[in-house]
């Protein structure tokens, strides 16, 4: 058992895995991939009502359970294993964390209870045409008169943007980068789905045309909260990647034991043994990085920014490598649409680029260590 996990965490893991085995089998993943919303509202409600997942890390005063990041790591590893199609990452990991970091008590009271109950789906709109996630790339314009704000411009790669009830958009005001809440159906807001490599995680283009918006937090002072949210989101994504990597390793090993060629299981051939051994090393290193960063997030450790970039670069590369090797172990069948190996490969490659690729995070790591 991993050092950061106790018996209660393993019980949580078992409960989540049983739930997802029933609610997110491969057939359901494939069905939801073809829908615009990309999730099942009934399952989303069950996640909230039966398991309390949407409120897991939200404080009790705002309708949540008040648990920490170690518990969230467990949940996301299992979601990564199952390729769960749901707006959990956008609503809980990104939007809820941004609200909690905003320092705006009124916004927390208005939005967090709905997120915790699953009745409100929220997302964060940050990236724009250049696909970057840094402060300098925020160009969406916010205009304010007499305390009333409107947004003009567009955001790209917004996770679950077509399904979201509330969008937390980063925009530039005369005072700097600020966060604004825009509710679904607001005048001038339009959302259109984007074609994606990974169809299990929906993305959208959001267009704002003098769209009324509510300022969240202080004007021009939002970037520290956004940066904190990004670090927490990167750690959460690393856990999801580690869970997916563990699953494809198990797929490869099971196939190597069952597939027979020349009268022998292919797992007895030296080339396959080496592939599986290399995959084990990749997976274990990814899990170690994700768990260590998750423990830092739970403790509010000042090293979190460094560990977040470390985990993201390690887990991104590990997941992509083992997903590719899984296809190789499966041979011809692994390349076909009918086999789930390609679903994990697409999730791995998409997640590798999400919030910046490994090269970006290694450079960020050097900057945070003061070495660049």
User: What confidence score (pLDDT) does residue 3 get?
Assistant: 66
Express each pLDDT in 112-156 by its tens digit: 999 999 999 999 999 999 999 999 999 999 999 888 999 999 999
pLDDT of residue 268: 84
Same domain, residue pair 170 and 302: no
0.85 exceeded by the pTM? yes
Terminal Cα distance for the chain, rounded: 37
CA gap 155, 141 in Å, rounded? 11
∠ CA 59-64-68, rounded to 5°: 55
Beta-ladder partners of 337:
none
Residue 1's pLDDT is what?
40
Tell me the CA distances in angstroms from 329 to 277, 279, 341, one per residue in order. Answer: 12, 11, 10
Span 188-230, pLDDT tens digits: 999 999 999 999 999 999 999 999 999 999 999 999 999 999 9
| pLDDT tens track for 361-370 | 999 999 999 9
Task: Indicate whether 290 and 179 sit together in one domain.
Answer: no
Question: For residue 281, is it within any domain?
Answer: yes
The residue range of the domain holding 360 is 224-368
From the centroid of its chain, how far is CA 224?
20
Is residue 19 included in any domain, yes or no?
Answer: no
Tokens of 209: 């045309």
Compute φ and ψ for 283, nearest 5 degrees.
-65, -45
Asked whether residue 353 is domain-assigned, the answer is: yes
Instruction: Using DSSP bridges, classify how beta strands 122-125 and 166-173 pair: parallel, antiparallel or unpaired.
Output: parallel
How many percent of the chain have pLDDT more than 90?
93
Domain boundary among 204, 222, 240: 222
CATH number of the domain residue 199 falls in: 2.40.110.10
pLDDT at 267: 86
- Gap between the Cα atoms of 104 and 31, Å rounded: 39
Number of domains in the chain: 2
Q: Is the pLDDT of residue 324 over 70?
A: yes
Instruction: Kindly indicate the confidence band of residue 65, based on its pLDDT and cuts at 50, 70 and 90.
Output: very high
Cβ-in-10-Å burial (0-12, 13-18, 19+) of 370 comes to: exposed
Count CA within 13 A, CB hemisphere, residue 218.
Answer: 7
């Amino acid at each position: 058992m991993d050092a950061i996990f106790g018996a209660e965490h393993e019980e949580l893991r078992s409960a989540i895995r049983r739930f997802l085995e029933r609610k997110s089998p491969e057939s359901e993943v494939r069905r939801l991939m073809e829908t615009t919303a990309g999730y099942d509202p009934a399952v989303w409600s069950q996640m909230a009502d039966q398991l309390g997942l949407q409120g897991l890390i939200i404080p009790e005063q705002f309708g949540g359970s008040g648990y920490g990041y170690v518990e969230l790591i467990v949940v996301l590893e299992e979601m990564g294993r199952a390729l769960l199609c749901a707006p959990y990452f956008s609503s809980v990991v990104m939007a809820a964390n941004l609200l909690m970091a905003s320092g705006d008590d009124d916004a927390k009271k208005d939005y967090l209870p709905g997120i915790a109950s699953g009745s409100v789906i929220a997302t964060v709109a940050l990236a724009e045409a250049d696909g970057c996630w840094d402060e300098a790339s925020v160009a969406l314009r916010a205009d304010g008169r007499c305390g009333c704000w409107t947004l003009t411009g567009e955001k790209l790669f917004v996770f679950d943007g077509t399904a979201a009830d509330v969008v937390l958009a980063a925009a530039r005001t005369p005072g700097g980068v600020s966060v604004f809440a825009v509710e679904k159906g607001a005048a001038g807001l339009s959302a259109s789905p984007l074609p994606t490599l990974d169809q299990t995680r929906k993305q959208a283009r959001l267009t704002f045309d003098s769209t009324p918006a509510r300022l969240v937090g202080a004007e021009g002072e939002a970037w520290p909260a956004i940066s904190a949210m990004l670090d927490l989101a990167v750690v959460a994504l690393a856990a999801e990647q580690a869970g997916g990597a563990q699953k494809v390793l198990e797929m490869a090993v099971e196939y190597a034991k069952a597939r027979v060629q020349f009268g022998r299981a292919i797992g007895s051939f030296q080339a396959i043994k080496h592939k599986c051994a290399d995959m084990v090393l990749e997976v274990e290193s990814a899990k170690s990085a994700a768990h260590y960063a998750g423990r830092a997030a739970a403790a509010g450790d000042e090293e979190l920014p460094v560990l977040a970039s470390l985990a993201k670069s390690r887990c991104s590369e590990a997941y992509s490598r083992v997903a590719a090797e899984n296809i190789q172990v499966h041979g011809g069948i692994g390349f076909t649409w009918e086999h789930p190996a390609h679903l994990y490969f697409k999730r791995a490659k998409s997640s590798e680029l999400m919030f910046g690729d490994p090269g970006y995070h290694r450079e960020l790591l050097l900057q945070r260590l003061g070495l660049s």
